[in-house]
Structure 1
Amino acid sequence: MFRPALLALALLAPALPAAAQLALPGVRLPPVPPAGDAIGRTLDQTTETLRETADQLLDLRQARIDRLLRRERDSVEADARGAPARRGELLLLDPDAATLEAAKAVGFALITRDRLGALGLEVARLQLPRGVKLAAAEALLSKAAPEAEIAPDNIYFESGAALAAWAAASASADAIATTVGMIDGAPGKGAAVAAQRGFARGAPYASDHGSAVASLLARAGVRRVLAADVYGKDPAGGNALAIARALDWLAGSGAKVATISLVGPNNAVLAKAIAGASRAGLVVVAAVGNDGPAAPPSYPASYPGVVAVTAVDGRARPLIEAGRALHLDYAAPGADIRAATRSGRNKSVRGTSFATPLVAARLAAALDAGGDWRARLDREAEDLGPRGADKQYGRGLLCRSCGK
C-alpha cells in the first residue's frame, strides 16, 4: 500500500544537513546510495503501486457491470457503449409527432410519455421491436429519426461501500432550514424525513445505502429531507428516467439542494434533467464514485453546474479508490465515519457516497445564510494539497469533523 509519510520522508532526505549523518565508533555503516537514486526508486515504486491499484479498480468496475448483466438478464442489457440499461426500451427527449410516427414505422411502440413540468422536459419510453437488441435498436431509431435525441435508460450504481447506522444528529450541529432532497434508495428505521416517494417498482423500499445518506444529512444538521427512492425492488432500478422523475419531484416540492450518490455514464435524458433542475433553482451535489482515477468520468458529477464531491479519510488523505469527474469542487470525509443501516444500527462507512451528503448539508447551510453560496463554501473549505483548486481536493475540504 502507498504510504504518503514514506514518500514525504524520501523527498525530505536531500534537505537534511550533513551533521545528521552519524558516525559511530567501531561501526562500519553500509554505503548510502545517492539520495537522487533512492528518491527515484521510491517514486517509481509508488507510481507502479498506484497504477496497479487503478487497474484493479477498473477490473472491479467491469466485474460489477458484468455481474449485473448476468444476474438481471431479463431486465438489463448493455447499450452500444457496453453500459448497463433497462432491457427492451429506449427514451426519446421532447419528441414531436413526426418523430413518434417515424419510430412506429420501424417497429417501436410507445409505452409512456412523461411530462416533467418542473424541469421543462418530456420523455417518451419506447418498446423495442421484437428480437432487436438495444445497441442495434439505437442505430435503427437514429436512422429512422436522425434529428431525434435518443438515449438508453442507463442504470446508475451507488457509490458507497460499507454500510452504517442511524447517527443521531449532532447536538453541536446548527439546524439547517433549507430543504435537501436525496436521490438514492429509501431510508429505513428511524429516518426523520419530511416526505419520501418511490420512482421504481416496489419503491419506497428501505436500503442500507439510502439510510446511511439520510443519517449523515441529519447528523450534519439538515432538518427537512425529501427522500426519492429510485431503486425500490426493481432489478433495473437506478435508471436515468427514474432519476429524472425524482429531480422533477424535488424541484417541484421546494428542495433547493439535491444529493446524488450514484454514478454511471453520460446520458442525454439525465443531462437534460440536470440542466432543467438547475434552471428551477435546484443545486445538485453528486459523488465522483469509487472506481479509481483511471475510470471514465462519472455522471451526474461531470455535468456543468453539478457540485462534484470526492472523499478523504480520517487523516484528510484522499481515498485511493475515489473516481473522477470532468471537474472537482470539494472533498469531505468519506471514511472513518459512522452512519446508519436500514435496521437502525450504527456502522462504519467508506466511499464518496458518504462525503456527498456532508457537502450538500454545508451548501444548504450556505443558502440559509444568503448571498453567494459558492463564495461562502470557498471561505469555509480547507485548502489542502497544492495551493488553490487541485485534482485531489478540488476547492478544499469541507465538514472535516462531520460524521464522527
Structure 2
Amino acid sequence: MHRPLALLLTLACSPALAQTTPGTPPKPPAQSPDLPQDGHRGSAVGVGVGVQVDLTQLFRAGRRLLQSEPPPAYAPGRALVSFDTGNGLSAQALAAEAGLELIEATTLDALGLTVAELQGAPAQLPAALERLRAAHPEITADLAPIWRAQDAASAPASSWPGARVGRLYATALLGIDQPQPLPQPVRVAMLDGAVEPAIGLELAGFEQVRIASSGDPDPGQHGTAVACLLACRPRGPANAAFFGPSPGLVLLNAAVLGRDAQGRPQARALDVLRGLDWSLRSGAQVLNVSLGAAPDAVTARAFALARPKLAAIVAAAGNGGADGGLVYPAALPGVIAVAAVDARLRPYRDGTRGSWITLAAPGVEVWVPGRADDGGRYVSGTSFAAPFVTAWVAQRLARGLPVDAATLCANARDVPPAGRDVQTGCGLLQWGDLSR
C-alpha cells in the first residue's frame, strides 16, 4: 500500500475523527423508510481483516493532510473602510492620508454606504487604520476578512459500495413528508456560489448575478446544492425520492464565491458586500448566507443596515469546531444562526460553538442530487443546515406568519443536553403546522 494512502486509512479509522460527541447519543428518532434504523448509511467498508473505514472521514482527513497550514482568516495586507455615501469623504483621500493604496471603491446604494478596499504592509496596517479612525470617527475601518463556504469534503454516492442511492433523513427529521408549494412567491436571496438551474429547481422566478472576482464561480457545486435543498425536484430514478421543501419561491443568487491561488473556495469581502446590496436592490425578503468569515467592523455595519430591510437573515453557524470563535454574519445581532446535526441528533463534530447559535437543522451527511442522474453525493457542514431554516421562513412569509427567532424556538425539538446550549441553540427545527 502506498504510504500516503496508508496514512489516510489510519486517520480515518482513528476514533478522534468519528462524527460523535461526548456522552451517550440520544435514542434515534423515527426513521423514514429510506433510512437505516441505525441512523447511518452503512458507510463503513471492510478493509482487510477487522478494519472499518468511514469514507466521509477519509475524504476529510485527506483534505486536511493536503493543506499544510490553515487558510488565513484575513486577506494579507488588505483592509476595508466604509462611510456614508454623500458625506464628502473620498476613498482616495483616505487612502493617501493613511499611506495606503486604494485597490477599489464601490457605492452600495441600498445600504447608503461607500466601501473601499485598501492595501498596505501587513505589519503597519493596524496602526494606519487606527490613525484613520481617530481622525475620522464617522468612518468604519477594519482588516478585510476572507469569506468561505461552511462545508466539508463531500463524498459521491457511488463511493459507498452497496449503499442505496439517496438515503434521505433530513426532511423526515424535520417533519416534512412532501414538498409544499408556496401559496404566493417569496423572494429569497443567497450569497453563495453560482447556481445551475438545470438541476431541477422548481421556482416562480430566478435571477443570478456573477460577482466573484476570481476563478470558478461555483466551486464544488456549493451554491447549486444549497439551492436544491431549498426548492428542487430533480428528474431521474436516482433522484426520485429527493425534494426541496419550498418550491415556488423566487431565487435571487449573488454568486460571490470563487477560488484563491491555491484553488480553495473563497469570496472577497468587497464582493460579499456587493452581493448583499444587490440582494436588497432586487427586493429580497429573506437572505440565506451559507458562507462565513472572521469578524470585522465593516461587515457588522453593513449587515446592521440590511437587517431592518429583510424579514430574516439566515446564516450557517460555522465549521470551526469547539474553539472556532465568532463567525460573521451568523454571530451578528438579529441573524438566525443555524448549527448542524446528524440523523441521530448528534451535533456536527466540526460545528462552531457559541451562545449566539439560534437552532439546528440536518447538516451531516445530507444527500443532494448531482447535475445529472449520477447518484448524487453526501455533503456535511452548517452550509447545508441553513437552507432548511430558510425554506421554513419562506413558507411562513408566504402565509403572513411570524418568522422571528422566538417563533422558531417555540416549535423546536430539544436536543440533548436539555435546554438551550452552545452546540444546537434551542434545538432542532420542526416544520410544524404552517396554517398558524
TM-score (norm 1): 0.72
Letter in 1 for 2:149: E
User: Partner residue of 2:351?
Assistant: 322
User: Partner residue of 2:224?
Assistant: 211
Residues 334-391 of structure 1, C-alpha deviations (whole Å, 9 max, x = no match)? 1242114466741111111110111111112122222322354334321232554332
Deviation at 1:275, TM superposition (A): 0.9
Q: 1:211 to 1:137 in 2, by over 3 A?
A: same
Q: 1:239 to 1:399 in 2, by over 3 A?
A: farther
Q: Is the 8 A contact 1:181 1:259 kept in 2?
A: yes
Q: 1:4 to 1:65 in 2, by over 3 A?
A: closer
Distance 2:126 2:430 in 1: 44
Q: Structure 2 residue aligned with 1:227, among 248, 253, 271? A: 253
Letter in 1 for 2:290: S
State the secondary structure of the residue aligned to 1:66.
Answer: coil
Deviation at 1:111, TM superposition (A): 3.9
Q: Is the 8 A contact 1:180 1:259 kept in 2?
A: yes
Distance 1:198 1:98 in 2: 27
Q: Is the 8 A contact 1:358 1:399 kept in 2?
A: no
Residues 255-310 of structure 1, C-alpha deviations (whole Å, 9 max, x = no match)? 21111112221111211121121121252111122221122122211000110110
Decide which structure has the larger Cα Rg and report it.
1
State the secondary structure of the residue aligned to 1:174.
Answer: coil
Distance 2:148 2:117 in 1: 21
Q: 1:392 to 1:5 in 2, by over 3 A?
A: closer
Letter in 1 for 2:423: Q
User: Partner residue of 1:351?
Assistant: 381
Q: 1:262 to 1:106 in 2, by over 3 A?
A: closer
Letter in 1 for 2:379: V
Letter in 2 for 1:393: T
Distance 1:259 1:165 in 2: 25
User: Partner residue of 1:184?
Assistant: 192
State the secondary structure of the residue aligned to 2:315.
Answer: strand
State the secondary structure of the residue aligned to 2:353.
Answer: coil
Matched, 1:398 2:429: yes
Distance 2:421 2:129 in 1: 42
Q: Structure 2 residue aligned with 1:289, among 318, 327, 331? A: 318
Q: 1:63 to 1:234 in 2, by over 3 A?
A: closer
Distance 1:253 1:291 in 2: 32
User: Partner residue of 2:395?
Assistant: 365
Q: 1:145 to 1:312 in 2, by over 3 A?
A: closer
Show the 5 A alignment for 1:55-66: 66=69
Q: Is the 8 A contact 1:187 1:342 kept in 2?
A: no
State the secondary structure of the residue aligned to 2:102.
Answer: strand
Letter in 2 for 1:221: S
Q: Is the 8 A contact 2:300 2:329 kept in 1?
A: yes
**Structure 1: which 5+ runs fail to align?**
10-56, 70-82
CA RMSD between the two structures: 3.5
**Count of matched residue positions in the alignment of Structure 1 and Structure 2:** 334
Residues 49-87 of structure 1, C-alpha deviations (whole Å, 9 max, x = no match)? xxxxxxxx9xx9999693546xxxxxxxxxxxxx331x5
Q: Is the 8 A contact 1:241 1:269 kept in 2?
A: no
State the secondary structure of the residue aligned to 2:413.
Answer: coil
**Greater helix share, structure number:** 1
Distance 2:25 2:337 in 1: 28
Matched, 1:200 2:216: no
Q: 1:253 to 1:174 in 2, by over 3 A?
A: same
Deviation at 1:322, TM superposition (A): 1.1
Residues 233-267 of structure 1, C-alpha deviations (whole Å, 9 max, x = no match)? 56494122211111111111122111111222111
Letter in 2 for 1:190: A
Q: 1:400 to 1:116 in 2, by over 3 A?
A: same
TM-score (norm 2): 0.67
User: Partner residue of 1:97?
Assistant: 89
Q: 1:136 to 1:363 in 2, by over 3 A?
A: same
Q: Structure 1 residue aligned with 2:342, among 313, 328, 348? A: 313
Q: Structure 2 residue aligned with 1:117, among 99, 109, 116? A: 109
Q: Structure 2 residue aligned with 1:242, among 271, 276, 279? A: 271
Q: 1:340 to 1:246 in 2, by over 3 A?
A: farther
State the secondary structure of the residue aligned to 1:190.
Answer: helix
Q: Is the 8 A contact 1:161 1:350 kept in 2?
A: yes
Deviation at 1:101, TM superposition (A): 3.1
Q: 1:102 to 1:295 in 2, by over 3 A?
A: closer
Show the 5 A alignment for 1:53-202: 66=69, 68=71, 83-85=73-75, 87-94=76-83, 96-97=88-89, 101-128=93-120, 133-146=121-134, 147=136, 148-163=139-154, 172-176=178-182, 177-188=185-196, 190-191=198-199, 192=201, 194-202=206-214
Q: Is the 8 A contact 1:308 1:325 kept in 2?
A: no
